[in-house]
Amino acid sequence: MLTLNLYNEYFTIFPKIKRLLGKANRGPQAVFDSLANGLKGLNIDFKINPNLTSPAALACVLSGISTLKWAIGQKLAGKIKTIIAGPNIVVSPNDARAILKSSEIDKIIVPSRWVKDFYVSQAPELASKIHIWAAGVELPEDWKSEVGGRKSEIDFLIFNKVKDQNLKNQIKTFLEQDVYRVADVKYGQYNQQQYFNLLERSKNLIYLSESESQGLAMFEAWAYNIPTLVWDRGYMEYGKHRFSGDTASPYLSAQTGIRFTDFKDFKDVLPKFLNASFFPRQWVEKNASNKLAAEKYLEIITL
């Protein structure tokens, strides 16, 4: 029977300290939790951050450069047979002294198609190793089934991940002038339960981010049957690199929401958004539950 050894950044000391201080990034942990919960639902045995006392067939390093370095060392010492790396290791395959180019890594996981294309553009030799896998989300039982018809306190919740507040302020002022009830949440300034509480009270989500490898907070909104209006400027900038594509909303579809490119486009798109029919919860049920995500992960690592 397959037993998985799952590793994350908390295997090493400094990320552990950051977590205790409340400075850890929620995204990688949410991805890790999704896989762990999905595997539990499938009754698959796994261990979290085990110190190896005997040779292990498989080490899945979901996050942490230091953890991946440790796993590579263990493989060189004959204690690990296979290393699966990702999806939360580096932004570019050339980061961290190009650690993902290590020959000891057998497969690389990335969250979406555009990330794979970006990786291949920067390191073509990795193309055959890269596999696309998106984390799933929990499906809350207390969701409201009718999109747009829910009784709520918030018409539009603005999820803000950009430093420049100009676009957020323009949108908020415009909506409030039309007597919509608006709330906003700043990325990194809330905990998981606070965000879920806001989703329970909201009809729609406006998502502002320069780029998203997956957009897990969007998935969480869709699980509550909340459609999203997503700012997508159409490119990602990282250092000297600029990459085009669906970089802010790689999994957005006609079932889950609509994109806009700037404030003028937002005003043009808003009536279409409000009059459209969306089925975001249904999309998550068919594509992105924790159990489905775990099944897909198992398919990739056992290829």
How far apart are the C-alpha atoms of 68 and 37, rounded to whole Å?
Answer: 22
Residue 56 domain-assigned (yes or no):
yes
Q: 54 and 128: one domain?
A: yes
Span 206-253, pLDDT tens digits: 999 999 999 999 999 999 999 999 999 999 998 888 898 888 999 999
Q: 181 and 123: one domain?
A: no
The mean per-residue pLDDT over the stretch 16-23 comes to: 51
Q: 73 and 191: one domain?
A: no
Helices 216-223 and 192-200 cross at an angle (nearest 10°) of: 40
How far apart are the C-alpha atoms of 281 and 283, rounded to whole Å?
Answer: 5
Residue 142 domain-assigned (yes or no):
no
Residue 287 sits at the vertex; the CA angle it makes with 228 and 141, to the nearest 5 degrees, is: 70
Q: 188 and 271: one domain?
A: yes
Picking from 147, 157, 285, 284, the residue whose alpha carbon sits closest to that of residue 227 is 147
Span 260-293, pLDDT tens digits: 999 999 999 999 999 999 999 999 999 999 999 9
Q: Please give the full DSSP string across the chain, using - where no structure is assigned.
A: ---EEEE-GGGSHHHHHHHHTT-S-HHHHHHHHHHHHHHHHTT--EEESPPPSS-EEEEEEEE-HHHHHHHHHHHHTTSEEEEEEEEES-SSTTHHHHGGG-TT--EEEESSHHHHHHHHHH-GGGGGGEEE----B---TT--SSTTT---SEEEEEEE--S--HHHHHHHHHHHHTT--EEEEETTSS-HHHHHHHHHTEEEEEEE-S--SS-HHHHHHHHTT--EEEE--SEEEETTEEEESS-S-TT--TTTEEEESSHHHHHHHHHHHHHS---HHHHHHHH-BHHHHHHHHHHHHT-
Residue 145 domain-assigned (yes or no):
no
Residue 147 domain-assigned (yes or no):
no
Parallel, antiparallel, or unpaired: how do β-strands 154-160 and 202-208 relate? parallel
CATH assignment of the domain containing 47: 3.40.50
Using an 8 Å Cβ cutoff, are 206 and 156 in contact?
yes
Q: What are phi and psi of 32, to 5 degrees?
A: -60, -45
Q: 130 and 200: one domain?
A: no
Q: How many domains does the chain have?
A: 2
Q: 96 and 202: one domain?
A: no
> What pLDDT sits at residue 249?
94
Can you say whether residue 53 is alpha, beta or left, with left for phi > 0 and alpha for psi between -120 and 50 degrees? alpha
> What pLDDT sits at residue 127?
98
Q: 76 and 107: one domain?
A: yes
Residue 149 has pLDDT above 90, yes or no: no
Q: 183 and 273: one domain?
A: yes
Residue numbers of the domain that contains 168: 154-287
Residue 222 domain-assigned (yes or no):
yes
What percent of the chain clears pLDDT 70, i.e. is strictly above it?
A: 92
Integer-rounded Cα radius of gyration of the chain: 20
How far apart are the C-alpha atoms of 232 and 264, rounded to whole Å?
Answer: 13
The residue length of the chain stands at 303
Q: 173 and 131: one domain?
A: no
- The two three-digit tokens of residue 239, written as one number: 């250092």
CATH assignment of the domain containing 208: 3.40.50.2000
Using an 8 Å Cβ cutoff, are 200 and 142 in contact?
yes
Residue 279 domain-assigned (yes or no):
yes
Q: 40 and 86: one domain?
A: yes
How far apart are the C-alpha atoms of 243 and 215, rounded to whole Å?
Answer: 17
Q: 35 and 63: one domain?
A: yes
Q: 222 and 98: one domain?
A: no
Residue 190 domain-assigned (yes or no):
yes
Residue 22 domain-assigned (yes or no):
yes
> What pLDDT sits at residue 245?
83
Residue 30 has pLDDT above 90, yes or no: yes
Residue 121 has pLDDT above 50, yes or no: yes
